[in-house]
Amino acid sequence: MPTKSNFFKSILIWRYKYISERNFLFLLSIVIGLLAGLISVFIKNITFAIEAIFEKGIILSENSIYFILPIVGLFLVYLFVKYISKKPSGHAIPSILFALSKRDGIINKRNIYLPLITAPLTVGFGGSVGLLGPAIASASALSSNLSRLLHIDRKTRSLLIACAAAGAIASIFKSPIAAIIFAIEVFSLDLTFASLLPLLIASVSSVITSYFFLGDSVLFDFNVTDKFAIRDTLFYILLGVGTGFASIYFSKIYFGITSFFNRFKSARHRLIIGGLAIGIMLFFIPPLYGEGFGFINNLMLGNDLDAIGSSLFDDYLDNIWVVIALLFGITVFKAIAMTTTFAAGGTGGIIIPTLVMGSALGNVVAKVINNCGLGFSVSEANFTLIGMAGLIAGVLHAPLTAIFLIAEITGGYELFVPLMITASMSFIINKNGLDHTIYTKELLEKGALLTQNKDKNVLTLMKLDSVIEQNFIELHPDMTLGEMLKNGVSKSNRNLFPVTDNHKNFIGIILLDNIRSVMFDQSLYSSTSVETFMQKPPEIIYYEHDSMEKVMKKFQTSRAWNLPVIKDNKYYGFVSKSKLLTAYRRELINFTS
């Protein structure tokens, strides 16, 4: 009786014989889209069920104590991570991008189920983050491991991970076009028919799955009624400038708060401080509770008081400037609440909080224009809508994703012109203010960031270990010329020798050309030492710190043919220019084929 592995092997053989690679990729795109849709539906329903329980039992009760719920949810996440998973799942998109650039698209199996548990606990209990990131993380991990099981090559595996991410977005927002563009912009995919069609198939498959389980329900119940007026162009430019600077603020707050919490080595301390901070913010600003879709819907429908909710300022809400100030406060504190939730140990995404912040800012700008006493009048609903696009374009450096996402989820294609104006302005301002996003800063520092630059991508995908050669005979500085010739030169086919001390600390190099003129002079065999002929290399490669791009630059500037590698402050080997260029060419062929 054949074993399970033999049975699976026979299926793979049958597939290789009868299904072409292209058709198999299309089939996998359908499957991955379906699975991504199921994951998105599952994580949404579990979270909404938790929220519904608390809404009936605590939030709508007379003695509302909802502001203590986030710390309870974070505590449950803390217990789960400490005693069950043993390791946090990490931030979704950066983890995926790192896996694509440095781990050949291989994502740990635990990331399939971890976000499905920790994200509902975080968001369901009122954590001020979104569900999209965890859905993408889980779907991408599932896609990665399915690809490994089916012996898919690295490049196709990376494409299928992007299909999973697109599927998650398409399912949650029911926006397949924006999902495809997100995968291209954020995952730096080449816009070719070979990559576009699988993304399209996965997105459609995921959207159909979402419709099957959730019906026609949409996140934002809004239809555009106020069309674009050319006289409002200047105001949309102003909104683009505002969202551009707000997106810079969003990123800087994220980096600053994250850096502050990193000072605390104990996860328990981060939980206590972060949980208390979130509770205080929710007490004064209730709309910061949870994801915030209800807040956005109320703003777009003109229900300002319902959006703001009950607070200490209820007696002053008949003053429009108090309403504006409260909405601006939500704009400011949403980024703080979101980052604090992450820093305290919560799991979630940044896209939906970005939408909340953008909707509040867009509404504030519209209200200021309408109430400044200069006789201007703009659509508050449209500005609320387009403010979301501006924030997304700036925070993610993904203007096309922002435009199509907002247009699709609200049916606002009639606002394409103002969407383009605001998104492009926000992107330009943020791009000039920040070279990196929340997703890419850490990857940039690690030399693990994939971009639209093919040369940099190839260097990023290359691994230093693959070009290090270690078949060099080490010499010591106190060795005589005779010992060097007997124990080194005569036994090596290399013309280069590293010089190290007794602890393998790198000291210098000796070139065969340096001793060629004296190597047959026996009178010098005992009177001269290795140290006499030793020289410093033109450059040194540091294993832990130098990216492949930096290694290539060191070869260009030094014009050397071989450079030594230092690892853990010890000699580790050499990299030759010929082997480096050969590896680069091979990787380039694989990347562009």
Q: Which residue has the tokens 């993408």?
A: 136
Tens of pLDDT, residue by residue over 57-101, are 555 444 467 778 888 889 999 999 888 887 777 777 888 888 877
Phi, psi of 439 (to 5 degrees): -70, -35
Query: 578-583 — which CB contacts under 8 Å span 24+ positions?
Result: 579/467, 579/469, 580/467, 580/551, 580/552, 580/555, 583/462, 583/466, 583/467
- 3-state SS of the chain: helix, strand, coil percent to 5? 70, 5, 25
List of residues 6+ apart from 339 with CB closer than 8 A: 253, 254, 257, 258
The kind and range of the H/E element at 219 are none
Tens of pLDDT, residue by residue over 464-476, are 888 888 888 888 8
Per-residue pLDDT band at 252 (split at 50, 70, 90): very high
Q: How much of the chain exceeds pLDDT 90, in percent?
A: 30
Average the pLDDT over 131-158 and give the result. 89
Domains and CATH numbers, the chain: 19-214 (1.10.3080.10), 230-452 (1.10.3080.10), 456-592 (3.10.580.10)
Tell me if 78 sits within 8 A of 345, measured CB to CB.
Answer: yes
Tens of pLDDT, residue by residue over 547-562, are 888 888 888 888 888 8
Say how far residue 345 (Cα) sits from the centre of its chain: 17
Q: Which residue has the tokens 């580790």?
A: 572
Rounded Cα gap, residues 105 and 97, in angstroms = 8
Per-residue pLDDT band at 1 (split at 50, 70, 90): very low
Tens of pLDDT, residue by residue over 346-380, are 888 899 999 999 999 999 999 999 998 888 889 88
- Residue 107 tokens, joined: 């994502």
Average the pLDDT over 23-48 and give the result. 92
What is the residue type of 62? E
Q: What is the pLDDT of residue 361?
A: 95
**Listed range (25-39, 279-293, 507-521) with the worst mean pLDDT:** 507-521
Tens of pLDDT, residue by residue over 125-136, are 888 898 998 999
On the 0-12 / 13-18 / 19+ scale of CB atoms within 10 A, 142 is buried
Average the pLDDT over 528-534 and give the result. 82
Tell me if 346 sits within 8 A of 127, measured CB to CB.
Answer: yes
Q: What is the pLDDT of residue 58?
A: 56
More confident position, 168 or 532: 168
Say how far residue 500 (Cα) sits from the centre of its chain: 42
State whether the Cα torsion 272-275-281-286 is positive or negative: negative
Query: How far is the CA of 442 from the CAs of 95, 255, 364, in angstroms?
Result: 10, 10, 33
